Amino acid sequence: MGVLEDKSRARTFYKYLSKVYDQVNPFIWNEEMRTEALGLLDFEPDNRVLDIGCGTGFATEGLLNHVDHVYGLDQSPHQLEKAYAKFGKRDGPVTFHLGDAERLPFRDDTFDVVWSSGSIEYWPNPVDALRECRRVAKPGGQVLVVGPNYPNSSVFQRLADAIMLFYDESEADRMFRDAGFTEFEHHTMGPSYNPEIAITTVAQVPE
């Protein structure tokens, strides 16, 4: 397990990263990638959408171009403070929750779309969290997860393993199957300097 897959360490990490997150993020997860990922989903304006690990609201902002309202959840109060500044804490287009991806505070079959980008790498038990994604999504709904693709270099592999969860398509297959998904597909994407830096999985929730 990587050092940042510990929840308390991850919260401390984001306490400081939140100060510069919006300036650093475009070098890893940019608007073009977000647009590409959003294009993999089918939306209706009144869909109920959950953004797990919403952070400062970068993906949330993109989701609001497709739907009227988004539910955002993050375990970092410091990241959420940045999101409140963008969207308002209450009575805005986003309903925010401070919470844990492995214990989502929502009822079964609540959301048409469950989205998570840049969060799975911090989940100590990703299969448990993916099961939670499936639980809160409606039958026939869509779950999209963006995570860091496993590097090809052995040097970077050792570094990746020490920090957080990186995974390839075969590991993504295993995690999604273990979480109860039977229909899913993977897409690699990234900025021009590394077009396969991220792996995006789109899964259909069994009906």
pLDDT at 21 over 60: no
Positions of E strands within the chain:
49-52, 70-74, 94-98, 111-117, 137-148, 183-189, 198-204
- In this prediction, residue 29 has a pLDDT band, given cuts at 50, 70 and 90, of confident
> Residue 27 pLDDT more than 70?
no
In sign, the C-alpha dihedral spanning 21, 27, 32, 36 is: negative
Confidence band of 156 (pLDDT split at 50, 70, 90): very low
Highest mean pLDDT among 3-12, 75-84, 151-160: 75-84
| Residue-level pLDDT at 151 | 63
Q: What is the pTM of this model?
A: 0.88
Place of tokens 């409140």: 84
Q: What is the second-level CATH architecture of the domain 3-204? A: 3-Layer(aba) Sandwich (3.40)
